Amino acid sequence: MYTVCLTGGIGSGKSTVARLFEAHGVAVIDADALAHALTAPGGGAIAAIRAAFGDQYIDAAGALDRPKMRALAFADPAARRRLEGILHPMIRTESERLAAAATSAYIIHMIPLLFESGRSRERCMRILVVDCDERIQVERVMARSGLARHEVEAIMASQVTRAARLAGAHDVLDNSGAPEKLTERVNALHQTYLALAQQVRSSQSDTRVPPGTRHSG
């Protein structure tokens, strides 16, 4: 199965882009959505999180207390790695199950922390980065989440730099402009990925492309 990994900084518009690909019938596997399911009441990761961090990080409904865990993860890198050690293997297992069941010509793995997570890139035949001006990122996140500017900037600072993300991309989608332009760019990339997927099916060979061969929009 030809696999495109979709990533981008917080507030860049990854979910919007994913929905546009889904409109073409492409299977999108969202790592964030899987993480939310695992940490919801009764989620598969709750018992392990409770054991690792204590009851104070589980809210009254039985879900992960996200604000409290977010504060801990930013203050204590070791705690963040411990949480990732619980969640990442579970997310990967479920991602693989969904990928195996997919019937579209290619699949998209939406992985916000693709470059930060290391091993996640092993599954990527092509990397698509959704990009926009950092000022726009901050404004979007503040508007949708209610976080203060310094909180958003702290999240951005914990991620790889914009330059590093762009350097690792095969394809870049500029999401700074009008929505209709984004739709046009996604349509064009969809045709590109269909062609690449067909090549894989025809040749039965590994077509991973080294970063540098880029389609920018």
pTM for this structure?
0.84
pLDDT digit string, tens, across residues 55-84: 999 999 999 999 999 889 888 989 999 999
Percent of the chain whose predicted confidence (pLDDT) is above 70: 92
pLDDT digit string, tens, across residues 164-206: 999 999 999 999 887 788 999 999 999 999 999 999 988 855 5
Residue 107's contacts (CB-CB under 8 Å, 6 or more residues apart) are 1, 2, 3, 4, 26, 27, 28, 29, 99
Which H/E stretch holds residue 4?
strand 2-8
Q: 127: buried, middle or exposed (CB in 10 Å: 19+, 13-18, 0-12)?
A: buried
pLDDT of 210 > 70? The answer is: no
